[in-house]
């Protein structure tokens, strides 16, 4: 008794299985988490170390190099990139792809220990290194908080209150606030008033430092009670009494300085929203939650807090992931329902009403069972997993179609329903299992790829694994069970009729006999078609990941290196005003000095640069977004000639900093800049290049006071004293802390604005001479000041100096980055590099190659396993060879489809091409198994080949048709469009050719000739 007989005879168990799939699957579907895109682990950490006063070269040699050397000793490190700027080292550490999210926390701890052990050896004056391992945190709900006439401290106070409330919402993870400015107490001294009272600013600074120091006066024991001695002043702690050194006159600080509260003069990061200063409030989610439900809970709590919000403060949503997820998931569910409806309707019309109902029911139960497996595995409903279900739809009915077709043929031949079910299941269960495993293995490289792209696409493989294997189980169990219940036995008159007497079968029979008569001609024709397709494939556009369909894009703005962040903000305000004036603009969020908080996984925030600003611009819909982006791309360079603008579209998958990156490594900065300039010239000469620049940026200007060392020695003045005097005068020095309730405000002492902005102030500064015991003019030890050019940024990769030339293709046009690279790559590689200098390519070229390398790493083993399965199925080498030779034929349809629809061959299209091999092999296995069966029944070889092909016309074409038409909803999705076209056209051509080529190749391999009368 086989499995079909068991399913029919043990009806209670079959009904129980059916009900469990229906109810359990429905429940799992409701419980599944929901995301817009699948999560992937960002395996990067940032090590930031300040080294005040050091040049870029000193930072590189004394700080960055020893840190890189120590970090590189970790066996987990893939590569290291670093930026050495004056006073700051930023090191990005990227770990190898094989380490997952569970191993990374331990790796980050080991990284911290390494750096902490190195800290005593770092130069004096450098701050302790800070390791940011939360660099990849995603704040899916990002709000911009604005308020007319509100200062940063007012906004911060409100946002802190909101954060405390939202942290208690279930499902909310980390909450981050950005854009806050440090409030400070400024003491701005007047040189004129200091001179009138015969005081020097260094004296004032020393007194203030002593005044604000926390001192331990010890303790006394009186009558057995211990009392602490605390020093306090009778006067104001922020306006102390100053004792004039020579006159003995007592004056207050306010007599020589202006005291006021304000915000740090040179901020590190500024945020704006629709032209107003802003703070950002980012909300991340805990793992495995339904972000739609959590988003609704957050929105509800914010609505409840609305009554406590001060009038004038606005909470503006920059990105609301739960809403985007709901919109995306609902759209995909509609596509999934459409695909299911298409498949079921096709089955009803082609297989008959009852057969269509059986196969449609099995399809639905298989999908519900897949939801159970997804919940168990922790796979959320998101773009990739839902896309996998749509891709699987056609393949899910393949096994059921074969079984139902066999049952119908058995019934027409006079078998009972039980006998027909048992016959077809017994005949096809192992070939169908082998074909199903092969189809699963075809997708295995996606799930086994350890890189970010493989992790991003991994759920595609697992969903297909669950659904396809379950489709085999349901085809052998529930399909016979339902067939026995629903199918009717044919009338007695129909039992002897030919089941393959229709017109379609007649056409295929004639075509097949002609091709078998001219076997060699047919094979030559196929080879020529394949060769033509290979040539045509060279004309197909290449791409990595497509742009998102969210109507939002980024506008990067770079001013010349060395620009003050306040100047960058000034220009940004003008650009912002221009963008907001455009009718297509819905809102604009801006950041100065660094990127925005990471609000999607695919958004890569820029590091800290004072000359950098970015605008996140949202339009009402995609057409308006493209119209606005094209307008800005044309107009902004004309109106703001001093800035470089770069438009970036939101993308679905991981994306590099720029699409085109040419990296040159070597030792000499001047040689690196010279080579980079040549590459920039090549790119600027190309009509398709945009945003051409390099990452070392321009040289910056520096003032170098030249110290007369002999005079300084005689006066007892050290270079440290000179540096402190200059810092206090122009930059300001922290001399203490002012306590305002729970807040600690730094007290900053400096000269008044009029002196800080006046170069002549250098001539009026005085410095204390320990040798003479009085103040002397600074000019006595600084005899001149030189203006010099210096490196602003030194970039390194894997401990080698490396300059990267960056460019992008026109992201708003039809051309892809691969087409631009194909034009400029030979010209760049033709440049003769000096000895010791190397060129390598990054950008999309590197990302795509790395992803394909990871993908193809497991491909040979997968294909070997697939070939072994076919050998085991047929106990032969020639038969599997016949089947495998049909696989490349799918490329004919792929080339035609991509060229006809003008779709690029993207990474998703590559996955579609790989999956085609499993689909084509599955069809070939079913056909070859039928040939074996016909031969085993005693038929002559030629007739067995023809009859087998004819008998497989309906199940093979139906399986292909359901897959192809089920893909229709994906054509309208930007992410899956190229994959859908690849599978639809590839499978369509391959199916037609398989029905002809497999018999022809079999006849060639086994020397089967057409009978004489057939000619």
Angle between helices 953-966 and 383-412 (to 10 degrees): 160
pLDDT for res 529: 92
Higher pLDDT, 131 or 289: 131
Give the residue from 781, 723, 726, 769 showing the smallest Cα distance to 750.
726
pLDDT band at 300 (very low <50, low <70, confident <90, very high): very high
**Lowest-confidence pick of 64-78, 127-141, 208-222, 600-614:** 208-222
Give the separation between CA 893 and CA 909, rounded to whole angstroms: 13
pLDDT for res 1015: 40
Residue 784: which residues within 8 A CB-CB, separation 6 or more? Answer: 705, 706
Mean pLDDT of 811-836: 91
The pair of structure tokens assigned to 547 is: 């742009």
Mean pLDDT of 71-98: 92
Every domain of the chain with CATH number 1.20.1640.10 lies at: 1-31+352-497, 498-539+876-1014
Arch. (CATH architecture) of 200-217+231-255+700-791: 2-Layer Sandwich (3.30)
Which residues are paired to 88 by β-bridges? Answer: 50, 85
**Lowest-confidence pick of 518-522, 840-844, 858-862:** 858-862
Residue pLDDT, tens place only, 371-427? 999 999 888 888 888 878 877 876 788 888 888 888 888 888 878 888 888 988 888
At 702, phi and psi to the nearest 5? Answer: -135, 145
pLDDT band at 1014 (very low <50, low <70, confident <90, very high): very low
Contact call for residues 215 and 229 (beta carbons, < 8 A): no
Give the separation between CA 712 and CA 726, rounded to whole angstroms: 15
The strand pair at 276-285 and 172-178 is best described as: antiparallel
User: In degrees, to the nearest 5, what angle opens at C-alpha 278 toward C-alphas 277 and 283?
Assistant: 170
Q: Is 114's pLDDT higher than 70?
A: yes
Q: Is 264's pLDDT higher than 90?
A: no
Give the separation between CA 185 and CA 961, rounded to whole angstroms: 75
Q: Is 837's pLDDT higher than 70?
A: yes
Every domain of the chain with CATH number 3.30.2090.10 lies at: 200-217+231-255+700-791
pLDDT for res 165: 93
Hey, which bits of 666-823 come out as E strands? 690-694, 700-707, 733-740, 743-751, 766-769, 774-777, 782-790, 794-797, 800-808
Residue 876: which residues within 8 A CB-CB, separation 6 or more? Answer: none
Mean pLDDT of 467-483: 92
From residue 1000, how far is each of 217, 623, 893 by CA, in Å?
102, 51, 20
The pair of structure tokens assigned to 24 is: 């359990």
Give the separation between CA 127 and CA 54, rounded to whole angstroms: 12
Contact call for residues 509 and 813 (beta carbons, < 8 A): no
- Fold of the domain spanning 43-135: Alpha-Beta Plaits (3.30.70)
Residue 799, number of CB atoms within 10 A of its CB: 15
State the DSSP code for 270.
E
The residue assigned the tokens 């569910």 is 333
Contact call for residues 46 and 92 (beta carbons, < 8 A): yes
Higher pLDDT, 120 or 851: 120
Average pLDDT, the chain: 86
Which residues are paired to 263 by β-bridges? Answer: 183
Give the separation between CA 608 and CA 568, rounded to whole angstroms: 13
Residue 875: which residues within 8 A CB-CB, separation 6 or more? Answer: none
Residue pLDDT, tens place only, 321-366? 888 888 878 877 787 788 788 888 887 887 788 888 898 899 889 9
The pair of structure tokens assigned to 36 is: 């817009």
Contact call for residues 968 and 494 (beta carbons, < 8 A): no
- SS3 assignment for 578-609: HHHCCCCEEEEEEEECCCCCCCCCCCCCCCCC
From residue 375, how far is each of 27, 30, 173, 950 by CA, in Å?
10, 10, 21, 42
First to last CA, the chain: 46
**DSSP H or E run through 17:** helix 11-31
Give the separation between CA 177 and CA 180, rounded to whole angstroms: 7
**Lowest-confidence pick of 133-137, 356-360, 839-843, 1009-1013:** 1009-1013
Q: Is 444's pLDDT higher than 90?
A: no
At 123, phi and psi to the nearest 5? Answer: -65, 150
Q: Is 910's pLDDT higher than 60?
A: yes
pLDDT for res 388: 83
From residue 52, how far is each of 88, 89, 782 by CA, in Å?
7, 10, 21
- SS3 assignment for 114-164: HHHHHHHHCCCCCCCCEEECCCCCCCCEEEEEEECCCCHHHHHHHHHHHHH
Residue pLDDT, tens place only, 946-984? 888 888 887 788 878 888 888 888 888 888 888 889 989
Q: Is 447's pLDDT higher than 90?
A: no
Residue 234: which residues within 8 A CB-CB, separation 6 or more? Answer: none
**Helix (H) and strand (E) counts for the chain?**
33, 30
At 128, phi and psi to the nearest 5? Answer: -60, 135
Percentage of the chain surpassing pLDDT 90? 34
pLDDT for res 235: 44
Mean pLDDT of 805-820: 89
Region 1-31+352-497: CATH code: 1.20.1640.10
Residue pLDDT, tens place only, 701-746? 888 899 988 998 999 988 888 888 888 888 888 887 877 777 788 8
Which residues are paired to 227 by β-bridges? Answer: 220
Contact call for residues 29 and 368 (beta carbons, < 8 A): yes
Mean pLDDT of 470-476: 93
From residue 229, how far is each of 218, 224, 232, 372, 541 by CA, in Å?
6, 16, 10, 70, 79
Residue pLDDT, tens place only, 233-245? 544 456 666 665 5
pLDDT for res 355: 87
Report the range out of 741-750, 837-846, 1004-1013 with the highest average pLDDT.
Answer: 837-846
Every domain of the chain with CATH number 3.30.70.1430 lies at: 43-135
Q: Is 466's pLDDT higher than 80?
A: yes
Region 498-539+876-1014: CATH code: 1.20.1640.10
Give the residue from 974, 309, 263 showing the smallest Cα distance to 650.
974
- SS3 assignment for 178-241: ECCCCEEEEEEECHHHHHHCCCCHHHHHHHHHHHHCCCCCCEEEECCEEEECCCCCCCCCCCCE
Give the separation between CA 81 and CA 793, rounded to whole angstroms: 13
pLDDT for res 1: 59
């Amino acid at each position: 008794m086989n499995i079909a007989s068991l399913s029919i005879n043990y009806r209670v168990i079959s009904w129980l299985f059916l009900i469990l799939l229906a109810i359990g699957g429905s429940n799992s579907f409701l419980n599944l988490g929901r995301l817009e895109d699948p999560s992937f682990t960002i395996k990067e950490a940032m090590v930031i170390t300040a080294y005040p006063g050091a040049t870029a070269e000193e930072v590189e040699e004394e700080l960055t190099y020893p840190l890189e050397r120590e970090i590189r000793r970790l066996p987990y490190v893939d590569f290291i990139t670093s930026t050495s700027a004056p006073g700051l080292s930023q090191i990005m550490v990227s770990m190898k792809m094989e380490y997952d999210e569970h191993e990374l926390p331990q790796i980050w701890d080991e990284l911290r220990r390494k750096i902490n052990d190195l800290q005593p050896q770092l130069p004096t004056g450098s701050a302790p290194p800070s390791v940011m391992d939360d660099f990849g945190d995603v704040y899916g709900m990002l709000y911009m908080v604005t308020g007319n006439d509100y200062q940063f401290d007012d906004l911060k106070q409100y946002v802190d209150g909101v954060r405390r409330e939202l942290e208690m919402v279930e499902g909310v993870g980390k909450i981050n606030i950005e854009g806050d400015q440090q409030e400070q107490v400024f003491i701005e001294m007047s040189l004129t008033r200091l001179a009138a009272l015969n005081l020097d600013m260094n004296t004032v600074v020393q007194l203030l430092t002593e005044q604000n120091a926390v001192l331990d006066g010890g303790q006394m024991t009186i009558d057995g009670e211990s009392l602490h001695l605390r020093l306090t002043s009778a006067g104001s702690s922020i306006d102390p009494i100053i004792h004039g050194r020579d006159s003995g006159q007592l004056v207050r600080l306010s007599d020589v300085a202006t005291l006021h509260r304000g915000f740090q003069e040179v901020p590190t990061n500024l945020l704006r929203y629709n032209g107003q200063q802003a703070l950002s409030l980012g909300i991340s989610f805990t793992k495995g939650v339904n972000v739609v439900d959590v988003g609704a809970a957050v929105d509800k709590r914010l609505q409840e807090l609305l009554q406590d919000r001060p009038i004038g403060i606005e909470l503006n949503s920059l990105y609301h992931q739960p809403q985007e997820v709901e919109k995306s998931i609902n759209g995909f569910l509609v596509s999934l329902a459409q695909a299911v409806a298409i498949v079921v309707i096709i089955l009803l019309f082609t297989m008959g009403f009852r057969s269509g109902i059986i196969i449609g029911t099995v399809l639905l139960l298989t999908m519900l069972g897949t939801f159970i497996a997804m919940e168990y595995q922790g796979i959320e409903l998101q773009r990739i997993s839902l896309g996998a279900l749509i891709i699987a739809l056609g393949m899910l009915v393949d096994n059921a179609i074969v079984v139902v077709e066999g049952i119908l043929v058995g019934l027409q031949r006079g078998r009972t329903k039980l006998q027909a079910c048992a016959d077809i299941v017994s005949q096809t269960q192992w070939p169908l299992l082998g074909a199903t495993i092969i189809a699963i293995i075809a997708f295995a490289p996606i799930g086994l790829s350890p890189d970010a792209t493989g992790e991003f696409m991994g759920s595609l493989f697992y969903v297909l694994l669950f659904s396809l294997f379950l489709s085999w189980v349901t085809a052998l169990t529930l399909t016979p069970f339902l067939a026995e219940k629903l199918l009717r036995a044919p009338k007695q008159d129909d039992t002897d009729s030919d089941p393959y007497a229709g017109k379609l079968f007649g056409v295929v029979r004639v075509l097949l006999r002609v091709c078998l008569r001219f076997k060699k001609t047919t094979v030559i024709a196929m080879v020529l078609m394949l060769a033509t397709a290979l040539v045509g494939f060279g004309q197909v556009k290449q791409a990595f990941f497509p742009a998102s369909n969210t109507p939002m894009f980024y506008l990067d703005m770079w001013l010349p290196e060395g620009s003050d962040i306040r100047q960058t903000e000034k220009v940004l305000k003008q650009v912002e005003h221009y963008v907001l004036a455009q009718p297509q603009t819905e809102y604009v969020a801006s950041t100065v000095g660094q990127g925005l908080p990471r609000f999607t996984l695919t958004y890569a925030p820029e590091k800290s640069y004072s000359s950098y600003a970015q605008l996140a611009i949202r339009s009402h819909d995609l057409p308006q977004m493209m119209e606005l982006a094209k307008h800005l791309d044309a107009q902004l360079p004309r109106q703001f000639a001093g800035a470089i603008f770069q438009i970036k579209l939101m993308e679905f998958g991981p994306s590099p900093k720029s699409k085109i990156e040419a990296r040159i490594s070597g030792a000499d900065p001047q040689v690196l800049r010279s080579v980079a300039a040549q590459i920039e010239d090549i790119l600027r000469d190309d009509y398709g290049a945009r945003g051409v620049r390099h990452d070392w940026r321009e040289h910056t200007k520096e003032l170098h006071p030249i110290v007369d060392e002999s005079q300084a020695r005689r006066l007892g003045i050290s270079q440290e004293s000179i540096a402190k005097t200059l810092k206090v005068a122009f930059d300001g020095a922290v001399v203490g802390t002012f306590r305002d309730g729970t807040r600690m405000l730094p007290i900053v002492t400096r000269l008044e604005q009029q002196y800080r902005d006046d170069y002549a102030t250098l001539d009026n500064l005085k410095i204390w001479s320990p040798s003479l015991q009085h103040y002397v003019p600074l000019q006595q030890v600084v005899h001149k000041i030189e203006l010099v050019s210096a490196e602003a940024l030194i970039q390194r990769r894997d401990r080698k100096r490396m300059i990267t030339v960056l460019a992008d293709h026109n992201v708003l046009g039809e051309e892809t980055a691969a087409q631009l690279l194909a034009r400029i790559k030979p010209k760049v590689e033709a440049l003769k590099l000096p000895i010791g200098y190397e060129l390598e390519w990054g950008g999309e070229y590197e990302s795509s190659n790395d992803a394909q390398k990871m993908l193809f790493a497991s491909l040979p083993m997968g294909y070997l396993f697939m070939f072994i399965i076919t050998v085991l199925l047929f106990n032969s080498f020639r038969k599997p060879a016949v089947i495998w030779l049909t696989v490349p034929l799918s490329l004919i349809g792929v080339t035609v489809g991509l060229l006809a629809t003008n779709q690029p061959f993207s990474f998703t299209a590559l996955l579609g091409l790989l999956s085609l091999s499993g689909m084509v092999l599955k069809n070939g296995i079913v056909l070859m198994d039928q040939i074996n069966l016909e031969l085993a029944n005693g038929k002559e070889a030629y007739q067995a080949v023809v009859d087998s092909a004819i008998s497989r016309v309906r199940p093979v074409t139906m399986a292909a048709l359901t897959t192809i038409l089920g893909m229709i909803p994906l054509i309208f999705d930007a992410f899956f469009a190229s994959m859908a076209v690849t599978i639809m056209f590839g499978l369509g051509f391959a199916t037609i050719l398989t029905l002809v080529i497999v018999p022809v190749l079999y006849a060639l391999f086994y020397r089967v000739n057409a009978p004489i009368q057939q000619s």
